[in-house]
């Protein structure tokens, strides 16, 4: 006999009282998830439905989220085990039919009429439904850890030590939506409309070029309009900065999460002022200085082999780290990984940004032997032989397949990176952003 289910294990996607009725043209959330349970896959895969241009909220509520104030986006507070051959915290981001061991034939899927449906047709059917929806993931262990720590309290009642420990292990999305605005340091802008005409024509043209190609698979026309308004308002507030590529990816994260325009603008300003100060200026002076600081920290904190590998590579760190620092990883990383990194950056500040890239260097920079092997394997000029390409590909594989190891190393490096040490090296290399 099966053990009785705990009362908290309610069906994840029962209709919420405030949800609009499902339309005939779009399957209900429950039917979407039931179709994703193919071949007995033990982990639930869910992409949130794309909001229409007329929707007033991008939040998809589950009974668990709705039972608490501020409940928001929720994905898979379900069994945490992953299938063999697909380990790592983001294994569940693959659709179940892509997670099968290819040496085994998956159980045939059956349609509502009782006829078998091929894996290819199911893949085509569901990919069309999910293609425009961002994916979020949280496991039952994370969910229960926060529930037990809160024990009926709100997140604002957590002590600082408790909060730091909880965030380092990952944060459910509904708590992120509540906590991030509390960590923003920028002032609230009440009237974004008044800022739309403050940007120069050149800045407006650059923004108009970048907005349509920023997360086009996730942002509809209304959300692209919101992104454009946020970037124009930010340029108006910072006329000396204007606009630089990377800001569009950072602002898009807040839009995808469903923050209103004023909160998204405040979040973008907080990151630019508090973490990326001087990074997006016309000469990138703040970033170029911090790339030198990053090199000094790498030689002080990382193993000697990593320093030798950096010397052999012969590529300035500002080339290796440009994408990571200028967009805070939002341009290349999966959204779920970006959010967890931003949890640490918003909570810990600049040290978390440095610690994150130091961890990537230690874990994925090709060693001396690997660089020599790459140079011998492919004719000079081939992309496969480029250690920089090798490093970036290794980082993306690690982020997707073993992000837990990256987070673990970041948390180990953070105590060794007090802000005073970063300020010391900034003074040494010259503070060019004040």
By the 10 Å C-beta count (0-12 exposed, 13-18 middle, 19+ buried), 363 is classed as middle
Query: What is residue 346's three-state secondary structure?
Result: helix
pLDDT for the residue numbered 204: 93
Q: Find the distance separating the first CA and the last CA of the chain, reported in whole Å.
A: 68
- CATH 3.30.1050.10 applies to domain 189-274: no
* 276-433: CATH architecture: Orthogonal Bundle (1.10)
Q: How many residues does the chain have?
A: 434
Query: What is residue 117's three-state secondary structure?
Result: strand
Q: Sign of dihedral through CA atoms 277, 281, 286, 292?
A: positive
By the 10 Å C-beta count (0-12 exposed, 13-18 middle, 19+ buried), 359 is classed as buried
Instruction: Indicate the domain borders of the chain.
Output: 137-182, 189-274, 276-433
Question: Could you give the angle at the alpha carbon of 187 between the alpha carbons of 181 and 192, nearest 5°?
Answer: 95
- C-alpha 61/C-alpha 16 separation (Å) is 7
Whole-model pTM? Answer: 0.69
Contacts of 206 (CB under 8 A, 6+ apart): 243
The DSSP letter of residue 302 is S
The neighbour count for residue 184, using CB atoms within 10 Å, is 19
CB 344 within 8 A of CB 352: yes
pLDDT for the residue numbered 236: 93
pLDDT for the residue numbered 42: 33
CB 286 within 8 A of CB 345: no
Tokens at 221, concatenated: 């026309």
- C-alpha 83/C-alpha 394 separation (Å) is 22
Nearest CA to 268 among 175, 180, 155, 206? Answer: 180
By the 10 Å C-beta count (0-12 exposed, 13-18 middle, 19+ buried), 42 is classed as middle
pLDDT for the residue numbered 101: 31
pLDDT for the residue numbered 383: 52
147-156 contacts, C-beta under 8 A, 24 or more apart: 154/69, 155/179, 156/182
Contacts of 7 (CB under 8 A, 6+ apart): none
Question: What is the mean pLDDT for each group of 10 consecutive residues in the chain (434 residues)?
Answer: 41 39 36 32 38 37 36 36 39 32 34 39 38 64 91 90 90 93 90 88 94 92 96 93 93 95 96 94 93 95 91 89 95 93 96 97 87 60 66 93 94 96 93 46
């Amino acid at each position: 006999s099966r053990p009785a289910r705990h009362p908290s294990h309610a069906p994840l996607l029962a209709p919420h009282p405030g949800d609009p009725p499902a339309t005939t043209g779009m399957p209900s959330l429950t039917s979407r998830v039931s179709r994703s349970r193919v071949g007995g896959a033990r982990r639930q895969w869910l992409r949130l439905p794309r909001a229409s241009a007329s929707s007033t909220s991008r939040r998809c509520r589950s009974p668990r989220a709705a039972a608490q104030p501020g409940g928001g986006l929720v994905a898979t507070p379900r069994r945490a085990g992953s299938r063999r051959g697909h380990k790592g915290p983001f294994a569940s981001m693959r659709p179940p039919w892509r997670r099968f061991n290819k040496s085994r034939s998956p159980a045939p899927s059956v349609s509502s009429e009782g006829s078998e449906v091929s894996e290819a047709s199911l893949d085509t059917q569901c990919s069309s439904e999910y293609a425009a929806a961002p994916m979020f993931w949280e496991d039952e262990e994370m969910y229960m850890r926060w529930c037990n720590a809160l024990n009926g309290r709100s997140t604002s009642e957590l002590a600082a030590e408790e909060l730091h420990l909880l965030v380092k292990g990952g944060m459910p999305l509904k708590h992120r939506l509540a906590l991030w605005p509390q960590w923003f340091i920028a002032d609230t802008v009440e009237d974004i409309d008044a800022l739309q005409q403050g940007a120069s024509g050149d800045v407006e043209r650059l923004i108009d070029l970048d907005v349509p190609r920023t997360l086009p698979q996730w942002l509809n026309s209304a959300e692209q309009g919101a992104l454009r308004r946020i970037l124009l308002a930010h340029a108006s507030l910072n006329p000396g900065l204007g606009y630089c590529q990377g800001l569009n990816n950072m602002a898009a994260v807040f839009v995808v999460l469903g923050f209103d325009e004023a909160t998204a603008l405040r979040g973008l300003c907080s990151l630019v002022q508090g973490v990326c100060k001087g990074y997006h200026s016309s000469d990138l002076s703040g970033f170029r200085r911090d790339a030198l600081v990053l090199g000094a920290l790498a030689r002080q904190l990382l193993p000697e082999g990593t320093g030798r590998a950096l010397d052999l590579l012969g590529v300035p760190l500002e080339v290796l780290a440009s994408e990571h620092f200028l967009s805070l990883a939002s341009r290349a990383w999966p959204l779920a990984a970006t959010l967890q990194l931003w949890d640490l950056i918003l909570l810990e500040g600049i040290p978390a940004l440095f610690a994150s890239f130091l961890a990537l260097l230690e874990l994925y920079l090709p060693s001396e032997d690997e660089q020599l092997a790459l140079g011998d394997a492919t004719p000079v000029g081939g992309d496969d032989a480029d250690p920089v390409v090798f490093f970036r590909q290794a980082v993306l594989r690690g982020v997707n397949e073993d992000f837990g190891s990256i987070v673990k190393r970041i948390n180990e490096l953070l105590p060794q990176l007090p802000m005073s040490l970063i300020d010391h090296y900034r003074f040494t290399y010259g503070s060019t952003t004040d």
